[in-house]
Amino acid sequence: ILAMTVIHLLFLHETGSNNPLGLNSDADKISFHPYFSYKDLVGFAVVLITLTALALFAPNLLGDPDNFTPANPLVTPPHIKPEWYFLFAYAILRSIPNKLGGVLALLASILILMVVPILHTSKQRSLTFRPITQFLFWTLVANVAILTWIGGMPVEHPFVIIGQ
């Protein structure tokens, strides 16, 4: 990929880009080597020096302080969370104390997402002139956003109630 990127940049600066108008683009072309090579080298050097200084002088600066707590096999650490796209499902599972009820609620939420396109039978595909459907769509979006936020929060009083 890197080699193809370099070849693409070289050809772009030597022959110019796509020219649908047919105008002469020689005035826009400059030689690649002295200008862009030195610019890239300076940028690479700045990034390398910054990362080296960070790694040598402050190695724990970007670390997570939860990684230094003693291990307890009986308790899941609070910083362990599922990926962001599973947080709404995590909030649904946590909001119902019964395990079977949580799984059924999760399956019902996925079923709702599967049924929504089937229920959309109008010949008019846009929601612009359908205010009730528009309201229901944005209610669904807000619901998923709130559940995603709740799934990333700890299991404490206000968050559990909001998730239910």
Q: Give the residue numbers annotated as catalytic, written as ranges.
A: 13, 17, 39-40, 83
- Check if the beta carbon of residue 88 is closer than 8 Å to that of residue 152: no
Maximum C-alpha span of the chain? 72
* The token pair that represents 132 in the structure block: 């009730």
Residue partners of 94: CB distance under 8 A and separation at least 6: 102, 151, 155, 160, 163
Residue partners of 92: CB distance under 8 A and separation at least 6: 102, 105, 106, 109, 147, 163
